[in-house]
Structure formats: C-alpha cells, structure tokens
C-alpha cells in the first residue's frame, strides 16, 4: 500500500544532542543514499535532507549531481533513480513550502521519536495509515538525526508515531528507524 502524496524529511536542525540541547547535526553520505532508497522503495513522492548549513546542502547537491551524471548512471542506474526524489531544504518550513507549491496544499506533519514526547498522544501505525488514506492533503514524515527532533517540531505535528521499540536501551540509527517506519506504514505485512 502506498498512500498518495507522502514525503519524508531527514531533519538535521533543530535536533537534540545527548544533553537535550538544540544542535545542528552533520549530513552523512550514507543517510542521504539509504533514506532515498527506502523512500523510493515505498513509493514516497519526495525526500528532503533538511539542514540550515549551506556547505552541507552543497554536499547533498554534489551527491545528487554525481548519481545523475552519465558516469553515475552507468555505474549504478538504480541509485540515480532513488536519489531522483531527493532534494535539500534549509528548514522544515522550506520543505513544507516546496510540497505546498507542488501539491497545492500544505502537508500534514507526522513526527517520529524513539521515546514518548510530553503530553502528545501517540498514534499507532494502523491509525496513521488510516489518517494518510483519508487525508485530503499530503503528508510529511519527519525523521530526526542526533538524539531526535527538538520539541518545537514535535509540538507542531499533527501526529506523533509510537516509538518502534519503546524503552529500548538506546535509539536505532535513523536509517534503520526510517526503513522500519516506512515498512510498517506501507509494507505488505504492516505491523503495529
């Protein structure tokens, strides 16, 4: 099952560090590639790498240019295909604006977290699948780097997905968490 007009974003700011302070995390080549592959596999309309740092957005542009070049296409055409849905954005608001321009409607925001967040009610994957199917507007799934999305983003969201493994000793890598989340939402054998 693929819901129409679903996007995801890998957010590097505002995210938390180990102490809970607001930081900007570093863009990594493997995150750019792996989340693009997961997003493309599950039929998402787009994937944003969100960072306010100009040099890191330039890094994302170089990665995308390489895999779109004749040399990159010849070496691994499927990588270029996956990365074709990727773009960088300076902020979550810029990603929202890009989706709004493309779709004609602002997206619902769905956040993820490795832990329950304040008083926000947690949505199950089944509830979110139903909400996406019933929505008359696009959805933007936000994945946080570092030690997770800062509270200001979570509080803006329309839904907060339940943690994959609540109470776990630590959080999963964002690549693993995104792949599991997308499979639970859009896989053939979704689990809640």
Average pLDDT, the chain: 90
Per-residue pLDDT, 66 = 82
- Please provide the DSSP assignment of 52-91 as one string: S-HHHHHHHHHHHHHHHSHHHHHH-HHHHHHHTTEEEESS
Is residue 183 within 8 A of residue 42, CB to CB? The reply is yes
Give how far Cα 115 sits from Cα of 58, 79, 88, 118, 156, Å: 32, 32, 27, 10, 17
> How many CB atoms sit inside 10 A of residue 140's CB?
25
Work out the average pLDDT over 186-191: 69
> How many CB atoms sit inside 10 A of residue 74's CB?
9
How far apart are alpha carbons 50 and 88 in whole angstroms?
Answer: 6
pLDDT band for position 190 (50/70/90)? very low
Q: What is the pLDDT of residues 132-160, one digit of tens each?
A: 989 899 999 999 999 999 999 999 999 99
Question: Which residue segments constitute the domains of the chain, with CATH numbers given?
Answer: 6-186 (3.40.1280.10)
Q: What is the pLDDT of residues 7-41, one digit of tens each?
A: 999 999 999 999 999 999 999 999 999 999 999 99
- Residue 192 predicted with pLDDT over 80: no
**Cα 25–chain centre separation:** 15
Q: What is the pLDDT of residues 160-179, one digit of tens each?
A: 999 887 666 667 899 999 99
């Amino acid at each position: 099952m693929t819901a129409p007009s679903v996007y995801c974003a890998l957010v590097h700011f505002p995210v938390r560090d180990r102490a809970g302070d607001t930081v900007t995390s570093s863009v990594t080549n493997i995150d750019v590639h792996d989340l693009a592959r997961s997003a493309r596999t599950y039929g998402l309309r787009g994937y944003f790498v969100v960072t306010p740092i100009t040099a890191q957005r330039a890094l994302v542009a170089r990665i995308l240019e390489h895999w779109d070049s004749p040399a990159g296409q010849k070496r691994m055409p499927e990588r270029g295909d996956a990365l074709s849905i990727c773009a960088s954005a300076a902020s979550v608001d810029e990603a929202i604006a890009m989706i709004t321009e493309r779709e004609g409607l602002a997206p619902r925001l769905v956040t993820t977290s490795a832990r329950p967040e304040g008083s926000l009610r947690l949505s199950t994957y089944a509830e979110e699948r139903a909400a996406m199917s019933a929505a008359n507007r696009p959805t933007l799934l936000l994945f946080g780097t570092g030690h997770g999305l800062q509270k200001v983003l979570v509080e803006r969201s329309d839904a907060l997905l339940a943690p994959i493994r609540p109470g776990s000793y630590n959080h999963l890598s964002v690549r693993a968490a995104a792949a599991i989340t997308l499979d639970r939402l859009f896989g053939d054998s979704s689990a809640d």
